[in-house]
Structure 1
């Protein structure tokens, strides 16, 4: 981070606005006429204060921040030292410089705890209004359109520095004649289906809209259309999360190693993170572990060597999960906590986006492609603000519903053994359960005959079969049959 003098000094905050006045304290260190060095702690903190340095409490701990022209950034003690040294060096007195260099206590957290505490009201989206912070100003998006950038000095709201997008916004593009590469990519993932395309776009708009309540909070799940026991991956799901991260601060997690119950699993999360991306979660991922976070926020974020912090649902980031599998859970409790999108596998390990477009997304783009991308993504936000998350009927809904009710192994096994289960003489429950476990290499898995029976009944309910218990059979058994009209 490049540290510069504050052009507008800060003395306090009220309702997220800055109160400004002249604060000096620049003579906190000086050499007297008799060559003695004088250091004043009170003047030192006035000087620190005048440079825009404050602290934000996090339980018993705190973060140092630098506030410059309504832009707030977290800084380290070494960066505070750099600000002070840059000033002292202008005094052109080596004794003063040496004093600051050797007085390490001045830049300890214990000493800097005397810095003024603030509770900044950081700017966020409002109902019906979404804001994006570009280099040339703040762009406001509503259902009616995209407004020109507002200069930061005119906007006058506190914004995290790491929320500022490293691009200027310009909506004067050839997007009408030359569709953005990323728009074409989303079209490919939609198999050219307009409703499916709008679904993906509106969900991306939902992710970028930085306003939610317990009633509207959802996790986003991105999975493949095709269900397979040996998924290939490479369909492009992760590129969607990557695209979102170009607009909102994102914390990424490796889904294969992810454990929602681990002590420090969320330590990357703080009040400035807007999206959590959990990439490629493994089969058996327990979505229920996220229930309370989705509806109530990140209530217990453990950080190593620091106090826990809490984020309300309004302050919490949106969770986006990519997976090659169908996540288990089909009850209302599961469905009302998620927005799902499925992608058509136009791309694969055999045909990657790089192969098709002959360009690496984001890193190979020129200025015009970035402009098209920015306009397209903000149009997705506008679509969401107009219509919410749009509807689309997923492919193979019965198969996916069965997987959510049972598991993928059972869903594949029962289709292969349907002729056996529909035989008039029936099958033994325990024998058939053991056959299922053997066939799917789960012989040492604990699966009660009651749970297995519930799996079979779930299949019957979803596919329109009737479960017939054969009470006279020893050991007890069952068969399934087509329901009579």
Structure 2
């Protein structure tokens, strides 16, 4: 078994020790009549256990307080095999410390320890009795006082003992095997059980009508027993839509229904077989349905083992993905295609490829005119307010959200979107929520995470469209470390499971929020990020909830959700039309220059490095000495080489071109930093031809 298989393919190796455990089960189903009798007893006990569990849950009574009791009940319910898992969850979740995954793990352990020869189902019923429940099933109103009362059962089907009803099919099957006709069986059972013949016939007619029909979907009828056929099971699983798929963290089990692919586990696979059995008539292939059910419950864990799962075919047909010119979003009533020229809702019948179940947004999409969206959408108005109505920044902000919504990575301009909020509470968290309502987002707490921790991205799964690093500290997340992630891809490593590389074409996009400006003024840094500064329009004393009169998202009605969806898809359309937009922020640039040098130097440079032109020669030594006089830094703290580096950083950060050289036309000549280019003016816009 490959170690690549993840949790849904949890190993059951060691659950069975050769013939020691399998032999009693083989003996158990060797005789169909014996199997049917035992099956009816098991089914009766299972139904009764389910009723008791529901009663415990309804009354809030816990019988699993403390680990020892929890284990004891789990071992008891393991006697029902997989059918006991649902009951175990139902009674475990009454406790406040209930964790579904831990409950599953515990029941798996109980199944592996279960000994058919030492069945302890009685411990569950005893615990229910101790909790005050009536564990003795009786038909309503019956008294054990002579034939007069027993005769009442022949005239009132509603008063029949459920246990008696459940034994009728087994008796009918035995009579069928003895060569009796339907009417002979009805007469015999009616007499034996003192039940009206019409009632008996209603129960056993389906057995006599269907028992000779042929099915054998995933089993074979042997001369002495029912055999679950593993090869037929594999065919049935594929027919039911089960496939393997290679994910970012290994192989996983998926199920396909009408081009929608959903990750599932082995429990669903087992129940698919069980649901099919339950849909069958009471008898077929010369056997009772209960006989097949008992055989499946006995064999299901070994049939659906890891070897079986590895033999499932891989899903080869491609998933529908965004491309350079089109973005797709999936809703309950259809899928939406967004292009430069249109936003169209289409039927899922027209879906050109597979999609994941997790991609379907649990809302109805209703198309709204752009003008109405701009006038009525609260989120659209919110985005305007967080930049104080600055149209240039507003356009950069909404195009950035469109870029994040579009799940296609442009090879020429992959960027990280960075939102700054120096004061805090300005609204960057709400923008993160908005993205999570339109896309699949992995949120990482930047205050506690560390980019040097190789397990930082271990929660990443295939299908995530955005990685949101919230409140990132530039010291813990130096932007230079992101450059390779943005342009090539990244490694995802899970503890004890190895690592998988996520290539650029399949990688999510990065959305980073911070209260501090990230350092880096070089072209490689600037070209790989879009930085947007939010204003302090909102604060602790004036929140968006106060502004709009309610919480965004949580308190929205259907109309606002429809406006929101249209808003986000419009943002995406703007991006597809115009590409990435940028603007030059004096405040952010100054913060970066201070980070790269020091505040005293930036203040000195602002006062002394003006009126520069192409060809201007800046005397490195003279300027260093000039700055030294106004600074408290010593020669050791600020050698001339460091000052020259700061000088280049400052000028290049402002957009000047520079080169080292010697002065001309003056004597004596001096070592100089020569201006070779001037800063570009206006907002920096990336041409759509390079981006889309």
TM-score bracket relative to the smaller structure: 0.7 to 0.9
Structure 1 residues 165 and 418: alpha-carbon distance in aligned structure 2, compared to 1, 3 A threshold: closer
Residue 108 of structure 1: CA displacement?
3.0
Count of matched residue positions in the alignment of Structure 1 and Structure 2:
421
Is residue 73 from structure 1 mapped to residue 265 from structure 2 by the alignment? no
Q: Who wins on radius of gyration, i.e. which is larger?
A: 2
Is residue 197 from structure 1 mapped to residue 385 from structure 2 by the alignment? no
* Secondary structure in structure 2 of the residue aligned to 1:168: coil
Deviates more, 1:317-326 or 1:358-367: 358-367
1:445-485: CA deviations, max 9, x gaps? xx999657744774577689xxxxxxxxxxxxxxxxxxxxx
Is residue 128 from structure 1 mapped to residue 128 from structure 2 by the alignment? no
C-alpha distance in 2 between matches for 1:273 and 1:60: 13
Residue 398 of structure 1: CA displacement?
4.3
Structure 1 residues 260 and 108: alpha-carbon distance in aligned structure 2, compared to 1, 3 A threshold: farther
Of residues 633, 649, 665, the one that matches 1:432 is 633
Structure 1 residues 112 and 240: alpha-carbon distance in aligned structure 2, compared to 1, 3 A threshold: same
Structure 1 residues 166 and 416: alpha-carbon distance in aligned structure 2, compared to 1, 3 A threshold: farther
* Secondary structure in structure 1 of the residue aligned to 2:504: coil
Are the counterparts in 2 of residues 54 and 116 from structure 1 also a CA contact under 8 Å?
yes
Are the counterparts in 1 of residues 466 and 510 from structure 2 also a CA contact under 8 Å?
yes
Deviates more, 1:383-392 or 1:327-336: 383-392
- Indicate the RMSD between aligned Cα atoms, in angstroms: 3.5
Of residues 499, 516, 519, the one that matches 1:308 is 499
More strand as a share of residues? 1
**Counterparts of residues 155-170 of structure 1 (less than 5 Å):** 155-170=351-366
Match of 1:51 in 2: 240
Match of 2:680 in 1: none
* Secondary structure in structure 2 of the residue aligned to 1:378: helix
Are the counterparts in 1 of residues 373 and 566 from structure 2 also a CA contact under 8 Å?
no
Match of 2:531 in 1: 340
Match of 2:522 in 1: 331
Of residues 592, 599, 622, the one that matches 1:411 is 599
Match of 1:265 in 2: 456
Match of 1:94 in 2: 290
Are the counterparts in 1 of residues 402 and 574 from structure 2 also a CA contact under 8 Å?
yes
1:198-222: CA deviations, max 9, x gaps? 1111111111111123322111111
C-alpha distance in 2 between matches for 1:254 and 1:450: 39
Structure 1 residues 416 and 66: alpha-carbon distance in aligned structure 2, compared to 1, 3 A threshold: same
Question: Which fold has the larger relative contact order, with Cα–Cα distance below 8 Å and residues 6 or more apart in sequence?
Answer: 1
Structure 2: state its 5+ residue gaps. 1-213, 283-288, 608-622, 656-692
Match of 1:370 in 2: 561
C-alpha distance in 2 between matches for 1:435 and 1:345: 41
Is residue 37 from structure 1 mapped to residue 218 from structure 2 by the alignment? no
Structure 1 residues 165 and 323: alpha-carbon distance in aligned structure 2, compared to 1, 3 A threshold: same
Structure 1 residues 452 and 84: alpha-carbon distance in aligned structure 2, compared to 1, 3 A threshold: farther
C-alpha distance in 2 between matches for 1:258 and 1:49: 42
Are the counterparts in 1 of residues 418 and 511 from structure 2 also a CA contact under 8 Å?
yes
Are the counterparts in 2 of residues 65 and 75 from structure 1 also a CA contact under 8 Å?
yes
Q: TM-score normalised to the size of structure 2?
A: 0.55
Structure 1 residues 212 and 61: alpha-carbon distance in aligned structure 2, compared to 1, 3 A threshold: closer
Are the counterparts in 2 of residues 326 and 403 from structure 1 also a CA contact under 8 Å?
no
More helix as a share of residues? 2
* Secondary structure in structure 2 of the residue aligned to 1:202: helix
Of residues 472, 481, 487, the one that matches 1:295 is 487
Match of 2:304 in 1: 107
* Secondary structure in structure 2 of the residue aligned to 1:241: helix
Is residue 187 from structure 1 mapped to residue 384 from structure 2 by the alignment? yes
Residue 64 of structure 1: CA displacement?
0.6
Structure 1: state its 5+ residue gaps. 1-23, 225-230, 437-446, 465-485
1:319-361: CA deviations, max 9, x gaps? 1101111001111111111122221121122322122222222
Match of 1:389 in 2: 580
C-alpha distance in 2 between matches for 1:140 and 1:48: 33
Are the counterparts in 1 of residues 624 and 643 from structure 2 also a CA contact under 8 Å?
no
Match of 1:245 in 2: 436
Structure 1 residues 192 and 41: alpha-carbon distance in aligned structure 2, compared to 1, 3 A threshold: same
* Secondary structure in structure 2 of the residue aligned to 1:175: helix
Is residue 118 from structure 1 mapped to residue 283 from structure 2 by the alignment? no
C-alpha distance in 1 between matches for 2:643 and 2:306: 59
